[in-house]
Structure 1
Amino acid sequence: MPKRVLQGVVVSDKQNKTVVVKVERRYTHPLLKKTVRRTKNYHAHDEAGAFKVGDTVWIEESKPISKLKSWVVLDDAPKA
């Protein structure tokens, strides 16, 4: 089973080796036929502490690192 890869924006970098990434998804409402935006925050592991607030990053699903962290920040954009 492949790991999920999501793109989002860093909204917090105050924790050590952790960034909070806001991921937005869009879908069409089944009844209203209107585009709806939903956001969710993910805690992602950032070993080097290289990413700051406002950076656009890719995160990849991984094994649980801590209670809240199950995602890792990728250094470069995923291929295909």
Structure 2
Amino acid sequence: MALGLNVSEPEESCSDPNCPFHGTLSVRGQTMEGQVASTDMDKTVVVEREYDVKVPKYDRYMKRRSRVSAHHPDCLDLSVGDTVRIAETRPLSKTKSHVVVERVPTEGDD
């Protein structure tokens, strides 16, 4: 199934209806990359993004971070510290409007 994104389908399959690969969930809007900060919730991960904001008074940059709740499909194996790509979707709950579509390989992964 084509998502409209340049991501590969995971080898493992699942029966999650909210999986963009094996279920009926469609993705739309923006995609973001970030690190998994928490996997404590059931079928949800918290993805943290860090970015710089210019402070004009001091002519410097300061770091800010935002945390986004995203749906974690059963076919993806994620742990804290993994870099993931998330895509926007319809609202799945009060705080979830994104789904994890890919685990981005880092330089140390083989």
Q: Same-fold call, TM > 0.5?
A: yes
TM range (shorter): 0.7 to 0.9
Tell me what 1:73 maps to: 100
When the two structures are superposed, what TM-score results if normalisation uses the length of structure 1?
0.81
Higher relative contact order (CA 8 A, sep 6+): 1
Structure 2 regions of 5+ residues with no counterpart? 1-27, 105-110
For 1:76 and 1:18, the matched residues in 2 are separated by: 15
Identity of aligned residues (%): 36
Q: Which has the higher strand share?
A: 1
Map 1:2-21 to 2 at 5 A: 3-21=29-47
How many residues align? The count is 76
When the two structures are superposed, what TM-score results if normalisation uses the length of structure 2?
0.61
For 1:20 and 1:76, the matched residues in 2 are separated by: 14
C-alpha displacement of 1:10:
0.5
Q: Secondary structure at the match of 2:40?
A: coil
The RMSD of aligned alpha carbons is 1.7
C-alpha displacement of 1:73:
0.7
Structure 1 regions of 5+ residues with no counterpart? none
